[in-house]
Amino acid sequence: MEQITYERDGGVGWITLNRPDKLNALTSVMSDELCDVLEEIHGDDGVRAVVVTGAGRGFCAGQDLTEFRDAYVSGDRPDIEQHLAETYHRLIPLIVETPKPVIAGVNGVAAGAGLSLAIACDVRVASDEARLTQAFVKIGLIPDSGGTYLLPRVVGYAKALELSITGEMIDAAEAHRIHLVNRVVPADSFADELRAYAERLAAMPTLAIAETKRLLRQALTLDLHDALQREAEAQARMGKTEDHTEGVMAFAEKRDPTFRGR
């Protein structure tokens, strides 16, 4: 792969956006590589948690604007709808809908589609040097790549609207205050804290996590009675897993459980 790296370490799959000189701005190549690796991870039972992070000082500065600038300079108007369909409309659902927990390791600035990428992940662990912006409006665009759908679900409608129409850059502390990131850690211990968090999730019962992701997502559009019914059906399945028996036995025997995803 040219623009990302992928490495499996124990139960954690590490995806690193790797264009540090351009703050990991997203190109079509990078998007394709991300999709390919996410599809590979989907079929790899050994991967129990996934991390997406950035090389260098940025997490992801959004769409690589040089691709568009070059076209505009030469008088072209690229088909943005087609571009979105071929890139982010493949990428974002692959992250949201994967049964595995996905952690965004927000090591530095996240802008535009880079912020959408972070909020498509299930959890955001940020360095205290990270900055976040819905940059789209600053170049006359609307929040794409899931930006209108995901951000209000994470921070609420009013804050999502404000961030989207101002393009305001916020620091990690403010992002934490509005629940845009789940935790903030000092830059010099970021790598260790991110690893510890990912390993902790990878040791959890993967079937229960997969069902929880699916149920929470579905419940956003269900009424209470339908949600209760889906919970009951899923809980019946979970009650038959080895992981559930192991959890109960470990509790009774006052030891740590070992979950196997069965």
Q: Does 187 bind ligand LHQ (CB under 6 A)?
A: no
Binding test (CB under 6 A) with ligand LHQ, winner from 25, 120, 181, 198: 25
CA distance 20 to 23: 5
Provide the minimum distance between the beta carbon of 141 and ligand LHQ in the complex, in angstroms, as a whole number.
5
Provide the minimum distance between the beta carbon of 166 and ligand LHQ in the complex, in angstroms, as a whole number.
14
Q: Does 144 bind ligand LHQ (CB under 6 A)?
A: yes
Q: Helix 113-120 to helix 88-97 angle, to the nearest 10 degrees? A: 20
Q: Does 90 bind ligand LHQ (CB under 6 A)?
A: no
Provide the minimum distance between the beta carbon of 135 and ligand LHQ in the complex, in angstroms, as a whole number.
4
In the bound state with ligand LHQ, the residue whose beta carbon lies nearer, of 86 and 246, is: 86
In this structure, the number of other CB atoms found within 10 A of the CB of residue 251 comes to: 10
Q: What is the rounded end-to-end Cα distance, in angstroms, of the chain?
A: 32
Provide the minimum distance between the beta carbon of 127 and ligand LHQ in the complex, in angstroms, as a whole number.
14
Q: Does 29 bind ligand LHQ (CB under 6 A)?
A: no
In this structure, the number of other CB atoms found within 10 A of the CB of residue 165 comes to: 13
Provide the minimum distance between the beta carbon of 70 and ligand LHQ in the complex, in angstroms, as a whole number.
11
Provide the minimum distance between the beta carbon of 84 and ligand LHQ in the complex, in angstroms, as a whole number.
6
| Residues of this chain, 103-142, that bind ligand LHQ according to CB under 6 A | 109, 111-113, 135-136, 139, 141
CA distance 220 to 173: 28
Q: Does 59 bind ligand LHQ (CB under 6 A)?
A: no
Provide the minimum distance between the beta carbon of 169 and ligand LHQ in the complex, in angstroms, as a whole number.
7
Q: Does 54 bind ligand LHQ (CB under 6 A)?
A: no
Hey, CA dihedral for 130, 197, 262, 251, is it positive or negative? negative
The pair of structure tokens assigned to 199 is: 């390993």
Residue nearest to ligand LHQ (CB): 112
Binding test (CB under 6 A) with ligand LHQ, winner from 5, 66, 166, 229: 66
State the Cα angle at 6 between 4 and 90, rounded to 5°.
65
Binding test (CB under 6 A) with ligand LHQ, winner from 65, 187, 210, 238: 65
CA-closest candidate to residue 34, choices 20, 49, 52: 52
In the bound state with ligand LHQ, the residue whose beta carbon lies nearer, of 51 and 61, is: 61
In the bound state with ligand LHQ, the residue whose beta carbon lies nearer, of 181 and 202, is: 181
Number of shown-chain residues binding ligand LHQ (CB under 6 A) = 22
| Positions that interact with ligand LHQ (CB under 6 A) | 22-23, 25, 61-66, 68, 80, 83-84, 109, 111-113, 135-136, 139, 141, 144
